[in-house]
């Protein structure tokens, strides 16, 4: 009887362990936050396959989904953004399996140089937000490497 109980408990513990969070949580974010695969968050020497350049006009409090990047752990994008004031916030996330996975969320930046390596194969949404008190134009440059695909929204 005791042996059987121990066996069932062991299976139960195993099952609960399988429920573990896959990325922890940020205090200001509800979605799971995941890190890029270690050692791959560098831009290769080869020139980008494609470069997207765009001026994003943002009113006060604007949140704009500027585009999506589709790729996986072997793909990379260099995202460069310049704002006139340190009031640019941005977020990259995806919605796999009906949930939300947040790759990055940064607040109140003026100059951004971010190497995005998707933690998993998915379509990743790039959102910008103007957290300042005046309208502004954000200069956006996205350099696509490997097989990363860009789709403007």
Partner 1 sequence: MERAVKALLVLALLLGACTKESVFGPPTGSVCPDEGTQLSYESFGAPFMVKYCTHCHSRSKVGNERNGAPSFHDFDTLSGIKAVHEHVDETAAAGPDAVNEGMPDYKTPPTLEERTQLGEWIACGMPDETDIARGDNHGVP
State the residues that interact with partner 1 by CB under 8 A: 4, 7-8, 11-12, 14-16, 18-19, 26-31, 59, 61-65, 89, 91, 93, 95, 97-100, 102, 105, 125, 127, 129
**Taking the complex as a whole, how short is the minimal distance between the CB of residue 44 and partner 1, in angstroms?**
29
Helix (H), strand (E) at residue 152: strand 149-152
Separation CA 75–CA 150 (nearest Å): 12
Separation CA 33–CA 25 (nearest Å): 6
Structure tokens at 67: 């585009």
**Taking the complex as a whole, how short is the minimal distance between the CB of residue 122 and partner 1, in angstroms?**
13
Pairing of strands 76-82, 88-94: unpaired
**Taking the complex as a whole, how short is the minimal distance between the CB of residue 21 and partner 1, in angstroms?**
10
Q: Which residue lies nearer to partner 1 by CB, 75 or 102?
A: 102
């Amino acid at each position: 009887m005791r042996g059987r109980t121990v066996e069932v408990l062991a299976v139960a513990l195993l099952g609960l362990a399988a429920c573990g969070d896959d990325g922890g949580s940020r205090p200001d974010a509800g979605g799971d936050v995941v890190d890029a695969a270690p050692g791959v968050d560098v831009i290769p020497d080869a020139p980008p396959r494609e470069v997207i350049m765009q001026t994003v006009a943002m009113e006060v409090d604007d949140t704009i989904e500027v585009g999506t990047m589709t790729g996986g752990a072997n793909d990379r994008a260099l995202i460069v953004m310049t704002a006139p004031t340190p009031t640019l916030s941005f977020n990259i996330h995806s919605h796999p399996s009906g949930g939300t996975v947040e790759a990055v969320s940064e607040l109140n930046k003026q100059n951004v140089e971010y190497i995005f390596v998707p933690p998993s194969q998915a379509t990743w949404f790039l959102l910008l937000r103007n957290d300042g008190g005046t309208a502004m134009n954000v200069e956006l440059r996205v350099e696509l490497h490997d097989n990363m695909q860009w789709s403007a929204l």
